[in-house]
Chains A and B, each alone.
Chain A
Amino acid sequence: GESVGLHLPTLSVQEGDNSIINCAYSNSASDYFIWYKQESGKGPQFIIDIRSNMDKRQGQRVTVLLNKTVKHLSLQIAATQPGDSAVYFCAEKDNNDMRFGAGTRLTVKP
């Protein structure tokens, strides 16, 4: 899940397994959500987004699930590869502000 503390949550998976990264958001007025991937030494890279009128959206090897009832967002990565190792964080947006989570560090073991 997401944390605003000093230590990022970590997830370690075996190459080829599926990964699930979670994010809890707090603003019930948020209607747009984004997942970003940030590799070491690089800026955040857009992965996938979802609007609040949807509960699931799929991209290439990635799926985002949105549960508005419990204010929960997840990113599923199929057949995780070493190149997927990075920090993943979610962002939520309402009419005014976009807020970012601190991220989860995904490590893929060969």
Chain B
Amino acid sequence: DVKVTQSSRYLVKRTGEKVFLECVQDMDHENMFWYRQDPGLGLRLIYFSYDVKMKEKGDIPEGYSVSREKKERFSLILESASTNQTSMYLCASSLKPTGGRQPQHFGDGTRLSIL
């Protein structure tokens, strides 16, 4: 089974802090993603990466950055946390599709509160 592990289930930080969310997958997947999930809304893509050292902006990248130094690890960084970044953050990974499509596999999320 695919295992996507997010380092923290719950985090409480203060406005203006720099926040790091870590994600590790153990299935040698090329693709990794960061989403945020807010009540009643679908998942919204923040950033994604198709390879080591590679990153692409998603739909809502403002206020975030990412790092992918190793294939198995994808970090999300809140440069200066704000209260509107209080949310559930979900990391996902998938295989690079070979002639077809591949599902994304998710971690259990980090519930981040910014005070």
Contact = CB atoms under 8 A, between A and B. Distances in A.
B40 A101 contact: no
Contacts of A6: 39-40
A63 B27 CA distance: 27
Interface string B86-115: 000010000000001101111111000000
B106 A44 contact: yes
Which residue, B39, B101, B107, B108, has most C-beta atoms of chain A within 10 A?
A: B101
Given A43-B4, A43-B90, A89 B42 contact: yes
Looking at chain B's contact residues, the main secondary structure is loop
A37 B42 CA distance: 13
Given A4-B40, A43-B90, A102-B40, 12 more contacts: A6-B39, A34-B103, A36-B106, A41-B108, A44-B43, A46-B103, A49-B101, A51-B101, A91-B104, A93-B101, A100-B42, A102-B41
B74 to A, nearest CB: 15
A95 to B, nearest CB: 10
Interface residues of B, number: 17
A38 B109 CA distance: 11
A91 B37 CA distance: 14
Interface of B: 4, 39-43, 45, 90, 100-101, 103-109
A44 B42 contact: no
Contacts of B108: 41-43
Contact of A102 (B42, B90, B103, B107): B42
Given A51-B101, A93-B101, A4 B42 contact: yes
A99 B43 CA distance: 8
B44 to A, nearest CB: 8
Task: List the 9 shortest-distance A-B pairs measured between CB atoms, nearest first.
Answer: A32-B101, A43-B106, A6-B40, A100-B42, A100-B43, A43-B108, A44-B106, A46-B103, A102-B42
